[in-house]
Amino acid sequence: MVKAKKKFGQNFLIDSQIIKLIVDEIKFSDTNKYLEIGPGMGALTSELQKKTKNLDLIEIDPDMIKILRAKINDNTQIFEGDVLGFDDNFFEGYNVVLGNLPYYIATEIIFRFITISNVNTLYFMVQKEVADRLVGKMGTKENSILTNLVGFNFRTEKCFDIKPESFDPAPKVTSSFIKLTRHKDYVNEITYADFKRIIKESFKFKRKNLKNNLKNILNLNDFENLEILPTNRAEDLSIEDFIKITKYMISNA
């Protein structure tokens, strides 16, 4: 077996039960184009190819690409490089993006797809801690910038956890398989850019309350009009509360 490279976040899936669970979770359709990020030695890729002819790959490590070339069939193209270096036009060619992500850039990869409107479903393996923040409930510390910015665009679902021994080398943390499905519930109400501004400001200082974090945007009277307690912290608010604040900010600008 090839030695795993830490700098590329390489933890290879070796558990066939988990690979089956993942493939069973993915909805396959002939009209979709699928893109796998970080296929590594192809543990998932081989199984995905049994389900779709429309699969391409992005991999950064030339050693992995050599191994992949010997394994994959002709329908699949391999793009070599850093996934974060590809432009929007490239990604717009796909509808479903999936992969066992390199954990050192997992959240950056998720954020990368927020504004790629053609990509409607993401299936990723990430650290459990990231998955828990993605599905973070109002009033808990997991309710975070990640919860709200991703939640504005995607319905988030944690499908199942995966123990470290399912990988070689075993990572230090438990992993989770997540599914994100694009929705359009809010995009006609406000822009993502305005919403993002409110989220960034609200969560700016974790220990401070909304009155402090939003002092340049809302005064006490505004909080009263909005029927939101100024002594709440950002984590106490729902996504609908943040939508309400964003709309209020725009109409009073």
Distance of closest approach, residue 236 Cβ to ligand SAM, in angstroms? 35
Distance of closest approach, residue 26 Cβ to ligand SAM, in angstroms? 14
Given the complex with ligand SAM, which of 42 and 136 has the nearer CB atom?
42
Distance of closest approach, residue 81 Cβ to ligand SAM, in angstroms? 7
* Closest chain position to ligand SAM (CB): 38
Given the complex with ligand SAM, which of 130 and 199 has the nearer CB atom?
130
Determine the residue type at 141. Answer: K
* Spatial distance between the Cα atoms of 234 and 212, rounded to a whole number of angstroms: 11
Residues that bind ligand SAM (CB under 6 A): 8-13, 37-40, 43-44, 58-61, 64, 82-84, 99-100, 102, 105
Both tokens assigned to 226 = 């909005």
Tabulate helix, strand, coil % of the chain (nearest 5).
40, 20, 40
Given the complex with ligand SAM, which of 174 and 232 has the nearer CB atom?
174
* Spatial distance between the Cα atoms of 199 and 196, rounded to a whole number of angstroms: 5
Both tokens assigned to 19 = 């690979």
Distance of closest approach, residue 35 Cβ to ligand SAM, in angstroms? 11
Distance of closest approach, residue 40 Cβ to ligand SAM, in angstroms? 3
Distance of closest approach, residue 83 Cβ to ligand SAM, in angstroms? 4
Question: Residue 3, class by beta-carbon neighbours within 10 Å (0-12 exposed, 13-18 middle, 19+ buried)?
Answer: exposed
Given the complex with ligand SAM, which of 8 and 28 has the nearer CB atom?
8
Given the complex with ligand SAM, which of 64 and 198 has the nearer CB atom?
64
How, if at all, do strands 96-100 and 34-37 pair?
Answer: parallel
* Spatial distance between the Cα atoms of 54 and 38, rounded to a whole number of angstroms: 17
* Spatial distance between the Cα atoms of 217 and 63, rounded to a whole number of angstroms: 51
Given the complex with ligand SAM, which of 37 and 134 has the nearer CB atom?
37
DSSP 8-state class, residue 183:
-
User: Does residue 77 contact residue 56 with C-beta atoms inside 8 Å?
Assistant: yes
